[in-house]
Structures are given as C-alpha cells and as structure tokens.
Amino acid sequence: MTSPDYWAGNRPDYIAAHECGHALPFWAQGIPLDYVAIIGHGTMPRPHTQPIDVNGGSLGQRLLVNASGVISGFWRNNRAFSDLGIAELLIASADGCFETLGSLSGRATRIPRAGLIGPSEDLEPAAWLMGGEVCAYDHAIRYWRECERFVASVTPAIAAITPHLIERGELPGAEVALRAAVAMAGQPDPWLPGWTAEK
C-alpha cells in the first residue's frame, strides 16, 4: 500500500511513519502481519506493509489500515487535514488537489490527490465507497476523523517503531507486535472505530 508519486523526494522518516501507520492497525486488530518495509522486498520494488493473508480482515479493518498510513505520514510532515481537505481527498476535487493545513502555521497547502487515489493506491477503496454515499460528506469526515483518533491512540508505538524501520529498512511482523506491545504498556488500549467490527 504505497503512493510512490506522492513520495518522490520524501524523507525516509516520512515513509517509515507512513508504513508504521499501516502496520499498527494490523497489530491493534489482531491481523497477523508478515513484515513492513520501506525498501523493496521480493518482487515488490517499493515500500509496503504485508499481512500474512493479503485478503484477511473485514472491509472496515482494511479501510482503517489504508487511511492510517496516510494520516501517520502526513502528521510526520506536520500536515493536518481540514474538513474541506478530507472531502476533496475522498469525494471530489475541482483542481485535482486536496487541502492540508500546517500543524503549527495553519498555512494551507494543496497536494495532488492522484498520488493517494488511483488504481491500487491507498485510498481508492474508500473513495469508491464515499462516491456512492447519499451523505458522502458526513461519512467521509467521520471516517477520516475516526481513523485519526486511532492513529493518535497508537502514537507511542509509531514513535517507538519508526526509528528501527528507518535503520533496518524492514521489520518482521512479530517484531512490530512486540515493540508495539512494549511501547503501549501502561497506555490506554488502541481506539478502534466501531465500523471496523462490521463484516
């Protein structure tokens, strides 16, 4: 689950935070993870997060995996999502871009959505679902904000794992689970959206 066009020129720590954001939902939802890589692995030439069963998990569980990687990476770059930006990202955009806001400055930056929504890219499944919704706007905002709440709840694990992923290029799923458990010890449980429990 990658977005190579958007990644062009991006730093390893951004890519690692993005992939950690994909990996932690697998751990939090009890879906076995094979490995997470910010380098090529086997026949896959680019960063990706690989579950043991590529078809495992419910649709909602996979949608959380997809958005959480994007959110984690953008947060690493100090970019936040406005409601407008979420709607532009997931539903429609007049200029092909979506708005993000500087976390500190509040300054708006428009980023091409094509790097994130396209065949096989991170947010394609969510965009297809939102496009068919009667209340697409409300649905999109809720979906994204609840994914953000999940990412915020596993921030200690992302912070703990990202440096190891940068250093080694890839980590086995078992090590991700172990490091996540250690980092989250004494913290509240990861917060999971209710729709991840739906089939």
Residues that bind Zn ion (CB under 5 A): 1-2, 69, 122
Q: Least Å distance between CB 94 and Zn ion?
A: 25
- The answer to whether the CB of 31 falls within 8 A of the CB of 107 is no
Take residue 153 and report the two structure tokens written for it: 């709840």
Q: Least Å distance between CB 31 and Zn ion?
A: 16
Q: Least Å distance between CB 106 and Zn ion?
A: 26
Residues contacting residue 132 through CB under 8 Å, at least 6 positions apart: none
Residues contacting residue 86 through CB under 8 Å, at least 6 positions apart: 98, 140, 141, 144, 145
Instruction: Select from 105, 109, 66, 120 the least CA-distant residue to 84.
Output: 109
Instruction: Select from 152, 165, 170, 150 the least CA-distant residue to 35.
Output: 170
CB of 14 or CB of 86, closer to Zn ion: 14
Asked whether the CA dihedral 104, 106, 111, 116 is positive or negative, the reply is: positive
CB of 57 or CB of 69, closer to Zn ion: 69
CB of 46 or CB of 110, closer to Zn ion: 46
CB of 134 or CB of 154, closer to Zn ion: 154
Residues contacting residue 30 through CB under 8 Å, at least 6 positions apart: none
CB of 129 or CB of 137, closer to Zn ion: 129
Q: Least Å distance between CB 195 and Zn ion?
A: 20
- The answer to whether the CB of 122 falls within 8 A of the CB of 116 is yes
